[in-house]
Structure 1
Amino acid sequence: MTESGFKFSILASGSSGNSFYLETSKKKILVDAGLSGKKLAQLMSEIDRSLADVDALLVTHEHKDHIHGVGVLARKYGLDIYANEETWQAMDGMIGQIDSSQRHLFEMGKVKTFGDIDIESFGVSHDAAAPQFYRFMKDGKSFVMLTDTGYVSDRMAGIIENADGYLIEANHDIEILRSGIYPWRLKQRILSDKGHLSNDDGAETMIRTLGNKTKKIYLGHLSKENNVKELAHMTMENSLLQADLGVNHDFKIYDTSPDQASPLTTI
Structure 2
Amino acid sequence: MIFSSLYSGSSGNSMFISSGEAKILIDAGLPGKSIEKALKDIDQNPAELDAIFVTHEHSDHVKGIGVLSRKYNLPIYANELTWKAMPSSIGNIKEDNIRVMLENQVSIKDLDIVSFEIPHDSASAQGYAVYHGKKKVAVATDLGHYSEIVRKNIEDADVILIESNHDVEMLKFGPYPYPLKRRVLSDFGHLSNDACGNAISELINGSKRKRVILGHLSETNNYPELAYQTVVNILREKGIDLNKDIGLTVARRDMPSNYIEF
Give the TM-score of the pair, scaled to structure 2.
0.96
Rounded Cα–Cα distance in structure 2 between residues aligned with 1:217 and 1:55: 26
State the identity as a percent.
43
Render the CA deviation track for 1:97-151: whole Å, top value 9, x for unaligned: 001011112246x222211121110011111000001011122121110100100
Q: Quote how far apart the aligned CAs of 1:50 are.
A: 1.7
Gaps of 5+ in 1: 1-5
1:222 alignment counterpart: 217
Q: Quote how far apart the aligned CAs of 1:215 are.
A: 2.4
Q: Are positions 1:160 and 2:166 aligned together?
A: no
Q: Quote how far apart the aligned CAs of 1:238 are.
A: 1.2
What does 1:163-174 correspond to in 2, within 5 Å? 163-174=157-168
Match of 2:49 among 40, 48, 54: 54
Gaps of 5+ in 2: none
2:114 alignment counterpart: 120
Query: How many pairs does the alignment contain?
Result: 261
Rounded Cα–Cα distance in structure 2 between residues aligned with 1:120 and 1:234: 31
Task: Tell me if structure 1 keeps the 8 A contact 2:57–2:87.
Answer: no
Q: Quote how far apart the aligned CAs of 1:263 are.
A: 4.7
Letter in 1 for 2:226: L
Rounded Cα–Cα distance in structure 2 between residues aligned with 1:68 and 1:210: 34
Rounded Cα–Cα distance in structure 2 between residues aligned with 1:141 and 1:213: 12
Letter in 2 for 1:124: I
What does 1:72-83 correspond to in 2, within 5 Å? 72-83=67-78
1:235 alignment counterpart: 230
Q: Are positions 1:7 and 2:16 aligned together?
A: no
Rounded Cα–Cα distance in structure 2 between residues aligned with 1:205 and 1:50: 35
**Secondary structure of 2:190's aligned partner:** coil
Letter in 2 for 1:150: G
Instruction: Please provide the CA RMSD for this pair.
Output: 1.2
2:139 alignment counterpart: 145
Rounded Cα–Cα distance in structure 2 between residues aligned with 1:105 and 1:142: 23
Letter in 1 for 2:131: M
What does 1:1-267 correspond to in 2, within 5 Å? 6-91=1-86, 93-107=88-102, 110-211=104-205, 212-267=207-262
Render the CA deviation track for 1:141-166: whole Å, top value 9, x for unaligned: 21110100100122321222121111
Task: Tell me if structure 1 keeps the 8 A contact 2:138–2:157.
Answer: yes
Give the TM-score of the pair, scaled to structure 1.
0.94
